Structure 1
Amino acid sequence: MSAKDRPAYFMIQDAIEQARIQPGGTFVEASSGNTGLGIALIAKQLGYRSKIFVSKSCSKEKIKVLIQAGAEIEICENSNGLHDFHSTQFRAQSFAATHPNAYFTNQYYNTQNICAHYKTTGPEIWEQTQGRITHFLSGVGTGGTISGVGRFLKEKKADIRIWGVEPEGSILQHYLQYGKAPKEISPFDAIEGIGRNFVPGSFDPQPIDHIFQVQQSMTKLMARRYLAETGIPSGFSSAALLACLHTYHNEMALGPAHTVLLFFPDHGSRYVSKLYADSLDFKTASSTL
């Protein structure tokens, strides 16, 4: 299970209710793995098929579990957006447009991505923290999680700080600050699930106060440190939040009066080959799960 199951469910339900797909059709998505898995599992349960386009950087653990869930997989060169003919997004859109009864859920531009977290995740966070939350920290990929949760929490308490985290070289920090993408787009420091070189339509900058950038090397280090200290293997983007706290703790000026929520969207078992392949701590933790 991951946080991406929520937008997957909302996007599928919306497509069915709006008659954008007929029974037995194929749901199509471009995904780093987690949204794709949610779509595959839900589609299968409802009697639909799924085809998921992933980039070549997708972890082998995610690909394996996608196949086990019944998804047809196509591996693409990158996930650089609809302007790139070799990207997961372009290939997914093209497939859906040229095959009968296929629907591209398009998490990067589907409003249900934001809506899912506005209607479910945000209210749950508010209720479970009893309204005491002061800071929300989340990785930024499609933007759906931070946009939906951020909107809800800001409506409840305007002075809550909504902070995002992305890899060094990703463009969303620049977009948040200047209202436009940088003129020069360069490859960014890859952290699976977060970071973009284009601005997704599901990224709403309005509720977001700041986006921090972290290094891949520090993220990997913090994943292993967290595992050693807690016995819990975190996902790649979850570890990026730990790297953010470690790197910017002085700038954040957090104290005992603050209630800070770090949003971990998935589990480290989906990133063994990238984060924990040689970790004895992971093998020990896995044996107790």
Structure 2
Amino acid sequence: MIKDNIGNTALEKHEALSRQYGTGIWIKEEYRNPGGSSKDRVAWYMVQDAIKYNKIPEGGIFVEASSGNTGISLALIARELGYQCKIFVSKSTSFEKILMLQRLGAQVEVCLNSNGPLDENSTQFKAKTFADQHPEAYFTNQYYNEANIEAHYQTTGPEIWRQMEGQVTHVLIGMGTGGTISGIGKYLKEKNPNIQIWGVEPINSIYQLIVQDMPIPEDQTKFDPIEGIGRTFIPGSFDPSVVDQVFQVSADKTKKIAHLFSHQNKQLTGYSSAAVLAALDEHAKVMNLKSSDRMVIVFPDHGDRYLEKLYSNKAGNKNGDLGFKHV
């Protein structure tokens, strides 16, 4: 079954990055999950919770608002367990993710944005509305589902601690729903409160304001489009108490780093993975990392889900012969 292959993903030291930044850097390869992303963990926990507590009838429809990865994971698990799946994505979702959702049998509805439950044009609003109108449907609602944090608290956090043999000083994670950083941060802080939990988001996203306990402007400027991370509303699946600092990066810097990393390492990074690398590059001086530090960075998915957005000629890549490897 799928559940038997979720988690226990590789954590590998990246020698080139370690040399470049003068510190130990390990990559948690979440794209090795069967659904291709870290969202397999969350999807499994949310599905099991729904089934256990009779929140969905047998053969019912799992509904979610997703930038793609959670939707793909839900579709994969729902198909195996005999359920249906309907995913609401924003118009910015990559072509590759939408195609994968359709091939997994999910119904896909494209919405104007993902600006939260109060915006009638958002994925969250439309997903909830659909579920409310269809008794056979259940809205997993990853942005407000406790299972989002719990999945990473119970699995990803302990894996990192075990794989690093407790010798981890920093973790750098992209912030979308906030569940990954909250679950990992909660577990690792319990093990060692001195571990620094750092988040990454696009310019003009609001997580940095939340962590710094600053007011959020009513007229929030649209954040840079980095698929999978960034928010204009505060998700219930985010726990700011376990996050020490948030670094912002631009979409332009992220794209440049994605191309640079792919050429140097012959590996396609996902969009938010590239954002984490961009944050490391842009804010290295502020981070003040020492040679004795041991940092884990999380790669939630693979670059094959962003070929058109990040690596095609249309995305600004002028070299057609890249020689990438799929890992």
Give the shorter-chain TM-score range.
over 0.9
Task: Please tell me whether the aligned partners of residues 227 and 282 of structure 1 are also in contact (alpha carbons under 8 angstroms).
Answer: no
TM (normalized to structure 2)?
0.86
Gaps of 5+ in 1: none
Task: Please tell me whether the aligned partners of residues 172 and 181 of structure 1 are also in contact (alpha carbons under 8 angstroms).
Answer: no
State whether structure 2 residue 153 is matched by structure 1 residue 118: yes
**Corresponding residue SS for 2:88:** strand
Q: Residue by residue, what CA displacement relative to the aligned partner does 1:159-181 show, whole Å, maximum 9, x if unpaired?
A: 00000000000011111112543
Q: Aligned partners of 1:57, 1:165: CA distance in 2, in Å?
A: 19
Q: Aligned partners of 1:188, 1:205: CA distance in 2, in Å?
A: 19
Q: How does 1:257-276 map to 2 (within 5 A)?
A: 257-276=292-311
Q: Residue by residue, what CA displacement relative to the aligned partner does 1:45-73 show, whole Å, maximum 9, x if unpaired?
A: 00000000000000000000111111000
Q: Aligned partners of 1:229, 1:101: CA distance in 2, in Å?
A: 49
**Corresponding residue SS for 1:64:** helix
Q: Aligned partners of 1:182, 1:194: CA distance in 2, in Å?
A: 19
* 1:192 aligns with one of 211, 222, 227: 227
Q: Aligned partners of 1:282, 1:6: CA distance in 2, in Å?
A: 35
Q: Which moved more, 1:274-283 or 1:29-38?
A: 274-283
The equivalent of 1:67 in structure 2 is: 102
Task: Please tell me whether the aligned partners of residues 276 and 282 of structure 1 are also in contact (alpha carbons under 8 angstroms).
Answer: no
Task: Please tell me whether the aligned partners of residues 258 and 271 of structure 2 are also in contact (alpha carbons under 8 angstroms).
Answer: yes
Gaps of 5+ in 2: 1-35
The equivalent of 1:284 in structure 2 is: 323
- Greater RCO, CA 8 A, separation 6+: 2
Q: Aligned partners of 2:321, 2:291: CA distance in 1, in Å?
A: 31
**Corresponding residue SS for 1:212:** strand
The equivalent of 2:173 in structure 1 is: 138
CA offset at residue 282 of structure 1?
A: 7.2
State whether structure 2 residue 82 is matched by structure 1 residue 47: yes
Q: Aligned partners of 1:154, 1:33: CA distance in 2, in Å?
A: 30
The equivalent of 1:163 in structure 2 is: 198
Q: Provide the aligned C-alpha RMSD in A.
A: 1.2
**Corresponding residue SS for 2:283:** helix
TM (normalized to structure 1)?
0.97
Q: How does 1:178-217 map to 2 (within 5 A)?
A: 178=213, 180-217=215-252
Task: Please tell me whether the aligned partners of residues 181 and 199 of structure 1 are also in contact (alpha carbons under 8 angstroms).
Answer: no
Task: Please tell me whether the aligned partners of residues 172 and 276 of structure 2 are also in contact (alpha carbons under 8 angstroms).
Answer: yes
The equivalent of 2:18 in structure 1 is: none
Task: Please tell me whether the aligned partners of residues 266 and 322 of structure 2 are also in contact (alpha carbons under 8 angstroms).
Answer: no
Q: Quick one: which amino acid aligns to residue 87 of structure 2?
A: I
Q: Aligned partners of 2:217, 2:293: CA distance in 1, in Å?
A: 34
State whether structure 2 residue 280 is matched by structure 1 residue 241: no
The equivalent of 1:23 in structure 2 is: 58
The equivalent of 2:260 in structure 1 is: 225
Q: Aligned partners of 2:47, 2:216: CA distance in 1, in Å?
A: 30
**Corresponding residue SS for 1:108:** coil
State whether structure 2 residue 118 is matched by structure 1 residue 79: no
Task: Please tell me whether the aligned partners of residues 61 and 85 of structure 2 are also in contact (alpha carbons under 8 angstroms).
Answer: yes
State whether structure 2 residue 44 is matched by structure 1 residue 9: yes
- How many residues are treated as equivalent by the alignment? 288
Q: Quick one: which amino acid aligns to residue 189 of structure 1?
A: D
Q: Which moved more, 1:102-111 or 1:183-192?
A: 183-192
- Flag the 1:52–1:282 CA change in 2: closer, same or farther, 3 A: farther
Q: Aligned partners of 1:94, 1:282: CA distance in 2, in Å?
A: 46
CA offset at residue 184 of structure 1?
A: 2.9
Identity %: 53
Displacement over 6 Å in runs of 4+? none
